[in-house]
Amino acid sequence: MAETFEKKWYVLHTYAGYENKVKTNLESRAQSMGMEDFIFRVVVPEEEKVETTKTGKEKVEFLKTFPGYVLVEMVMTDRSWYVVRNTPGVTGFVGSHGAGSKPAPLLDEEIQGILRQLGMSSRHEKFDAEIGESVTIIDGAFSGLVGKITAIDNEKMKLHVDIDMFGRETSAELNFDQVDKLV
């Protein structure tokens, strides 16, 4: 696979139970080795599970969606590939055929589905819009409708949009990748 210099998502195989340690190690190595422009986000997919104990208290647990796997958004270069695969706890890339071959990235549809399930956006950069601007909703229950932005949360990569439905104003919280700016 040739170097593309395009951000893509890849799946790392790790030792089971070391997913969060790999995430910490990789983020630390990316910063210390000056790879912030090549290694962007590291995600350990988890889902929240609420259980009621015998005493009636609610206990919140986070269960790994894919035990033994970590997602990384990166630009695949020889150097970034070396940094990631030599991170402590990483046993390899999923989709690599060995013998020094670089792995295949996840398809856009695959990663969008996973990130949406986790309540995250596939857009990493700041959303280039302002409060009061109109947007078209391109995904989800309100797909095809036009709304006005009332709040933007760049940290969570979400925005609040007011939509006119059946003569009433309805507010919706959407991910950045669920809307497009009106031109």
CATH 3.40.50.150 is held by the domain 7-117: no
In sequence order, the β-bridge partners of residue 135 are: 147, 181
State the average pLDDT for the chain: 84
pLDDT tens digits for range 95-132: 877 667 788 898 888 887 887 777 665 555 556 778 88
Rounded to 5 degrees, φ, ψ at 31 are -75, -45
pTM, two decimal places: 0.64
Return the domain boundaries, the chain: 7-117, 134-181
The pLDDT confidence band at residue 26, using thresholds 50, 70 and 90, is very high
User: Which pLDDT belongs to residue 70?
Assistant: 94
In sequence order, the β-bridge partners of residue 134 are: 148
* Cα gap 141→52, rounded to integer Å: 32
User: Which pLDDT belongs to residue 127?
Assistant: 64
pLDDT at 25 over 90: yes
pLDDT tens digits for range 27-72: 999 999 999 889 988 989 888 888 888 888 888 888 888 899 999 9
| CATH node for 134-181 | 2.30.30.30
User: Who's near 138: CB < 8 A, 6+ residues apart?
Assistant: 178, 179, 180
